[in-house]
């Protein structure tokens, strides 16, 4: 039996990427042991879940992390039959390198879900340098490196002088979806009004305040903006929705019905700000969820998103990441050949689905 230890420093309850990877590997003959924090669900396709609750030590997060590492080290040493260790993100890579030092036959996979050394908006140079120094040393122990966009893969190759990492996009599973009108029925939106949907974390760095400013400035209600999710900006959005005729708020829904809501809009919006390199190089999973739901996208002018949208002609790229650029992109949407764009989206759904991405993952594990 080929046994893999999947390591995360977070819960895997709602980590769609990790769950899809584990499910794929299980179906293809691997046995999975999961080492995680605060996971509450019972996943039948995982043979064993080693789970811990987060703690603080004297209120100092760094000390709590060190204690958590020691707990992880102890559990790894007790798992004698592990053949491969799959480390998700930079914060688990030290655990994997430690395990490999004690078991030279162990194969180590480093799965970087973002550009790890600059993944926080407006991050300090000290923080970036420190993470770069750690990653530069530890990545050399990895037998395989996986990441989520071509730009990040190229940067890892350039920075660390390693073979170019494999790219596994965080796409949803292929799903046939009939057109719905849930939002129009729920919010009494007219057929001639165009619905723009922002779906996901309601947090800073996602262009949310900018979107609100633009839609508040519109004199007519021909264009509707719906926010769907939860997060730190939820109170602000609710207040704006209460006062505005063309801004609405919808709480997050369960993943099994999510695409029905997504499909009820006309455009999916991903207006991530250029506030760190991880954002600049990102291909967000929400972007692929919009496509799987069958709707065109409106994206900010960031390298990877721009390339994808323009190459496959699946939506609109803002001319600039500003109020003016976003306003112009809304206006441009009114002049698009919408039915042609939807046809392109339909074709792209079969390319950007997990069924295609898991082929890459299985090739990686086949090489191991």
User: 220-253: string of b/e by CB count within 10 Å (b at 16+)?
Assistant: eeebbbbbbbebebbeebbebbeebebbbbbebe
Fold of 182-349: Rossmann fold (3.40.50)
Q: What is the pLDDT of residue 52?
A: 75
pLDDT at residue 42, as a whole number: 85
With a CB cutoff of 8 Å and minimum separation 6, the contacts of 360 are 166, 167, 168
pTM, 2 dp: 0.91
pLDDT for 173: 94
The per-residue pLDDT for 58 is 46
Query: Topology of 2-171+354-367 in CATH?
Result: Rossmann fold (3.40.50)
Residue 259 three-state SS: helix
- Amino acid 62: pLDDT: 61
HEC states along 200-239?
A: EECCCCCCHHHHHHHHHHCCCCCEEEEEEEECCCHHHHHH
State the Cα angle at 42 between 41 and 47, rounded to 5°: 135
Coil, strand, or helix at residue 44? coil
Could you tell me if 321 and 206 are in contact, meaning their C-beta atoms sit under 8 angstroms apart?
no
pLDDT means per 10 residues, the chain with 368 residues, are 88 91 95 89 84 58 72 80 93 92 92 95 94 97 97 97 97 89 95 95 92 93 95 95 95 88 96 93 95 96 95 95 92 88 95 97 95
Domain with CATH 3.40.50.2000 in the chain: 2-171+354-367, 182-349
Q: In 3D, which of 253, 269, 249, 271 has the Cα closest to residue 261? A: 253
pLDDT at 334: 81
- What are the φ/ψ torsions at residue 289 (nearest 5 degrees)? -65, -40
- The neighbouring-strand residues paired with 131 are none
**What per-residue confidence (pLDDT) applies to 61?**
57
């Amino acid at each position: 039996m080929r046994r893999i230890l999947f390591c995360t420093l977070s819960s895997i309850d709602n980590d769609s990427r990790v769950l899809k990877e584990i499910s794929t590997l299980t179906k293809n003959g691997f046995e999975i042991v999961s080492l995680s924090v605060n996971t509450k669900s019972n996943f039948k396709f995982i043979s064993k879940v080693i789970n811990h609750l987060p703690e603080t030590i004297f209120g100092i997060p760094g000390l709590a992390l060190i204690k958590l590492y020691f707990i992880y080290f102890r559990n790894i040493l007790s798992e004698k039959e592990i053949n491969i260790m799959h480390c998700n993100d930079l914060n688990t890579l030290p655990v994997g390198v430690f395990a490999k030092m004690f078991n030279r036959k162990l194969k180590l996979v480093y799965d970087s879900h973002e550009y790890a050394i600059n993944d926080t908006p407006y991050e300090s140079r000290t923080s970036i340098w420190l993470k770069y120094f750690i990653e530069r040393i530890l990545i050399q122990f990895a037998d395989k490196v996986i990441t989520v966009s071509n730009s990040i893969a190229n940067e890892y190759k350039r920075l660390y002088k390693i073979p170019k990492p494999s790219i596994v996009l965080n796409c949803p599973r292929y799903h046939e979806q009939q057109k719905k009108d849930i939002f129009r029925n729920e919010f009494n939106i007219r057929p001639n009004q165009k619905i723009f949907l922002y779906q996901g974390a309601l947090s800073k760095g996602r262009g949310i305040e900018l979107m609100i400013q633009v839609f508040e400035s519109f004199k007519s209600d021909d264009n509707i903006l719906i926010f769907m999710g939860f997060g730190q900006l939820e109170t602000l959005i609710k207040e704006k929705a209460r006062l505005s005729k063309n801004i609405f708020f919808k709480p997050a829904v369960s993943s099994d019905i999510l695409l029905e809501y997504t499909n009820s809009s006309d455009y999916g919006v991903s207006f991530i700000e250029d506030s760190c390199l991880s954002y600049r190089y990102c291909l967000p999973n929400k972007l692929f969820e919009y496509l799987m739901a069958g709707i065109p996208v409106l994206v900010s002018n960031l390298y990877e998103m721009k390339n994808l949208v323009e190459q496959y002609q699946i939506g609109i790229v803002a001319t600039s990441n500003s109020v003016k650029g976003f306003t112009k992109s809304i206006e441009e949407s009114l002049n698009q050949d919408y039915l042609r764009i939807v046809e392109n989206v339909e074709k792209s759904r079969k390319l950007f689905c997990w069924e295609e991405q898991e082929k890459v993952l299985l090739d990686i594990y086949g090489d191991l």
